[in-house]
Structure 1
Amino acid sequence: MSDPAQVAVVTGGARGIGAAIARRVVAAGGHVVLGDLAVEQGESLARELGPAACFVAADATSEADTMTLFDAASSYGAVDAVYANAGAVGVTGLLEGTAVDDARATMDRLFTSVFLAFKHGVAHMRPQGRGALVATASVASVRGGLGPHLYTAAKHAVKGLVESVAVEIAPYGLTANAVAPGATVSSLSAGLVGTGPADVERAYEQLASRSSSGVPTTSEDVAEAAYFLSRAHRVNGATVVIDGGDAVPGSAGRAYYGGVPHPAS
């Protein structure tokens, strides 16, 4: 028996992975509420997706704004999927040079946003006995050294929250899981690799050249995994790495068995 079409809330839904998730939900016959501060991009995506989607200008770190997203979703029916995707790289640099206010702002954007989406998602879905929470974590949530200090700490916190909440909500028919992307082709990564946020095609080429498989991870790859987790009723508390084997697990072992000369040889 197939699952019914979703009514989903997506934070950080205007661009990148969030937009890809929204497109995946709608393609499967669902409805989606997009929350984001990128108003122009969010409204454009909502127009693209038609009556199955609506955009709400919302700060994912604001509890009032988060509640507004769920209120908007009620026009489509009962919410049964929450994709906590809002985030940013946040503060970077040496630890001793990091300002406390910048650290707190980064934790808010990357962790508090997930906490709020999960809190209100559970409140809406627990009474109906079904529903899925999916957070966007990172390979930096399972291994250090793959991102800035506060980004890594926040993503580890997201992974921990997913595992803890999964225990609480399992008796009520709900699940909580996370996707953990590696470097992913998007406007964000285009800016990070120095090509400029509009040059996604060039970012694709650069990330492909850095990938052990020669193929970079795309937002659509991550969205497909996120959507799967929202439907996988017996998967709960998992963090699924999506990086093509580049970072977690690492690809250094190829030096021993993949035809690449061992560094010591």
Structure 2
Amino acid sequence: MAELHGKVAVVTGGASGIGAATCALLAERGARVVVTDIDDERGEAVAAALGEHGVYLHTDVTREEDVAAAVRAATERFGRLDAMVNNAGRVGAWTYVADTTVDEWDSSFAVLARSAFLGTKHAARVMREQGFGTVVNVSSVAGVRTGFGPHPYGAAKAAVLQMTRSAARELAEFHVRVNAVTPGGVATRIVGHGAGLDGDALDASVDSVRQGLATFQPIPRAGEGHDIAGAIAYLVSDDATFVTGQNIVVDGGLTLGKAWPATYRR
């Protein structure tokens, strides 16, 4: 288990799902975490649960000044920035390509691709001067395969993967690493959001998604936030100091394709 004592991380979209699980795991292993989100109630609760290891900051990841402020909060409060985890996301509306609006395309790219760019940009400014640091961008299987998300979502997640490789190449000489983690089917609130749910219906949707995903991928269970958080924690840790420009797919085998029917198994 990689220890993270003394490290400082900013996690976007930290109020729920993969983000909340990542905040909890990083703090459990010794890191201090700036939890960022636009859901203040949930974000503050996540930070409070971390005790002295956590602080919450309202952050709209589509706004450059908000992302810059989150990075600044880490350095001013804790004196350094070891990890920037660009996790915030949304699914968006499922529409045929012919019916997808420009507004939907642009808003998806703002939340998914622009946010990862802004997080990488402002973290890089600090990390180059430090001479160390790591950026982890959360992508999706929709960015590597078709059919796992709306057109804007998949295109934006693919863009995140290419930006990860490009930034990794540039920043390596400064000992700054940039990697991606690509989740498969994970039981989080983001799926319910994409279906237009909110309140109690949104919370209830997580259990429904969990049940549905149990037969959706080769490992017969839904992915959970801690599954993805574990990969992120590895990339943040000193165990991964020679790893950059990579994409770790954590998908329960989803991108392997469907298994043979039971009658053909031996």
Instruction: Report the TM-score, using the length of structure 2 for normalisation.
Output: 0.90
Q: Give unpaired runs (5+ residues) of structure 2.
A: none
CA distance in 2, matches of 1:183, 1:196: 20
Matched, 1:198 2:185: no
Higher relative contact order (CA 8 A, sep 6+): 2
SS at match of 2:167: helix
Contact 1:83 1:136 in 2 (8 A): yes
- Equivalent residue for 1:249? 256
Contact 2:6 2:31 in 1 (8 A): yes
CA distance in 2, matches of 1:103, 1:260: 44
Contact 1:34 1:54 in 2 (8 A): yes
- Equivalent residue for 1:83? 85
- Equivalent residue for 2:242? 234
CA distance in 1, matches of 2:203, 2:162: 34
Change (3 A) 1:186 1:2: closer
Matched, 1:218 2:220: no
Contact 1:179 1:240 in 2 (8 A): yes
Q: What is the Cα deviation at residue 119 of structure 1? A: 0.2
Moved over 6 A (4+): none
- Equivalent residue for 1:146? 148
CA distance in 2, matches of 1:202, 1:146: 18
Q: Pick the aligned partner of 2:119 from 104, 112, 117.
A: 117
CA distance in 1, matches of 2:225, 2:103: 30
Q: Percent identity?
A: 35
SS at match of 1:184: coil
Instruction: Report the TM-score, using the length of structure 1 for normalisation.
Output: 0.91
Higher mean C-alpha deviation, range 196-205 or range 80-89: 196-205
Contact 2:91 2:194 in 1 (8 A): no
- Equivalent residue for 2:73? 72
- Equivalent residue for 2:34? 33
- Equivalent residue for 1:261? 264
How many residue pairs end up in the alignment? 257
Q: What is the Cα deviation at residue 212 of structure 1? A: 2.3
Q: CA RMSD in A?
A: 2.0
Q: Pick the aligned partner of 1:98 from 97, 100, 114.
A: 100
SS at match of 2:181: strand
Q: What letter corresponds to residue 198 of structure 1 in structure 2?
A: D
